[in-house]
Amino acid sequence: MRYIDQAPSFVQLHRPRADAVQPELIAGLLATPARIAPKFFYDALGSRLFDAITELPEYYPTRTEAAVFAQHGAEMARHLPEGAVLVDLGAGSCAKAARLFPLLQPSAYVPVDISVDYLRDTLAALQQRHPELPMLGLGMDFSTRFALGPDSATWLQERALAQRPRVVFYPGSSIGNFQPDEALALLCQTHAVCESGGTGGGLLIGVDRVKARTVLEPAYDDALGVTAAFNRNLLRHVNHLLQADFAPAAWQHVALFNADASRIEMHLQATGAQTVRWPEGERRFADGERLHTENSYKWQPEDFAALLREAGFGEPRHWTDANGWFSVFWAPV
């Protein structure tokens, strides 16, 4: 029997409500150096700005990852199970996963994202284009803990999908936002999600590789200033969540490759001494002081394969592009 849904189901485990995130934001603002986690980039405008970044000539990851899928997709599909429940971690526009539907023929699509309003809209549009594919959106902050949760289990059981293999898709090298120990913890939780479905599941993950600074830095500091706007939009979002009074125009975008740590770092640098206030506190910033907003770790493929094994996955395979800039790994349970 084919299941026909008019609208996708949606479970909102994460509520972007201020009181839930204020302690984390305040702790980061009061730290030295001050920091705000990259997950706070993504309000609805931040998600749209990220989509614009993927169109920029300097931003090689999206088109390089797409080239890897175009060249090796058919071979990848031979290793992946057909009819899997496709779980899309940090789905954003859902566009990447949708392009894989013909290849993977999933039995259901489960996108997960912290940007709840944006996901609701993009998923509703996708469901219209694929009315026969059951879709369940999960609004969740997976940096605290990734699990599908009891509501999803019920949803899968009601559709006789609980015993289908689970393929977790985590593209775009978003794993690079996590420090190696945090990445390991998320991969362990992902392994548990894959393992709790039917046999044959695993993780399909895009990973950006170490390369020349001359390629890396422009990708995070484009000539049009879209990435700068994306970085500053975080202050708008924090103003909303914390009732703070950041003046985004008083902060300069900084992106640099920290070769020792093998990561791109994004910062916002105060263009003058200033005090940022919120209802029960404040933070004084000196002229030139930086607020750390993102890390994007770049991996050597052998190190990432070792991390996957450490997380409990079986022997991983990976495919890359002609320049060896980006790898897509398939790590079976």
Which residues touch 76 (CB under 8 Å, ≥6 apart)?
69, 103, 204, 319, 328, 330
Residue 144 beta carbon to ligand SAM: minimum distance, rounded to whole angstroms: 8
**SS3 assignment, position 332:** strand
Instruction: Please pick, from the candidates 90, 106, 137, 202, the single residue that binds ligand SAM as defined by CB under 6 A.
Output: 90
Which residues touch 144 (CB under 8 Å, ≥6 apart)?
none
Site for ligand SAM in 22-41 (CB under 6 A): 39
* 196 part of the interface to ligand SAM, by CB under 6 A: no
* 263 part of the interface to ligand SAM, by CB under 6 A: no
Instruction: Please pick, from the candidates 9, 22, 47, 262, the single residue that binds ligand SAM as defined by CB under 6 A.
Output: 47
Site for ligand SAM in 164-193 (CB under 6 A): 171-172, 174
DSSP-derived secondary structure for 37-102: -GGGG-SHHHHHHHHHHTTSTT-HHHHHHHHHHHHHHHHHHHHSPTT-EEEEET-TTSHHHHHHHH
Q: What span, in angstroms and rounded, lies between the C-alpha atoms of 80 and 267?
A: 39
CB 90 within 8 A of CB 173: no
* 226 part of the interface to ligand SAM, by CB under 6 A: no
Question: What's at 203, amino acid-wise?
Answer: L
* 294 part of the interface to ligand SAM, by CB under 6 A: no
Q: What span, in angstroms and rounded, lies between the C-alpha atoms of 91 and 170?
A: 8
Site for ligand SAM in 139-158 (CB under 6 A): 140-143
Residue 307 beta carbon to ligand SAM: minimum distance, rounded to whole angstroms: 19
Which residues touch 34 (CB under 8 Å, ≥6 apart)?
28, 283, 285, 289, 290, 291, 292
CB 168 within 8 A of CB 203: yes
Residue with smaller CB distance to ligand SAM, 105 or 143: 143
Cis amide linkage into residue 150, ω under 30° from 0 = no
Residue with smaller CB distance to ligand SAM, 107 or 177: 177
The interface mask with ligand SAM, positions 93-132, x = CB under 6 A, is ---x----------------xxx-----------------
* 222 part of the interface to ligand SAM, by CB under 6 A: no
* 221 part of the interface to ligand SAM, by CB under 6 A: no
Instruction: Please pick, from the candidates 66, 76, 85, 91, the single residue that binds ligand SAM as defined by CB under 6 A.
Output: 91
Q: Which residues bind ligand SAM (CB under 6 A)?
A: 39, 42, 47, 50, 54, 62, 90-92, 96, 113-115, 140-143, 171-172, 174
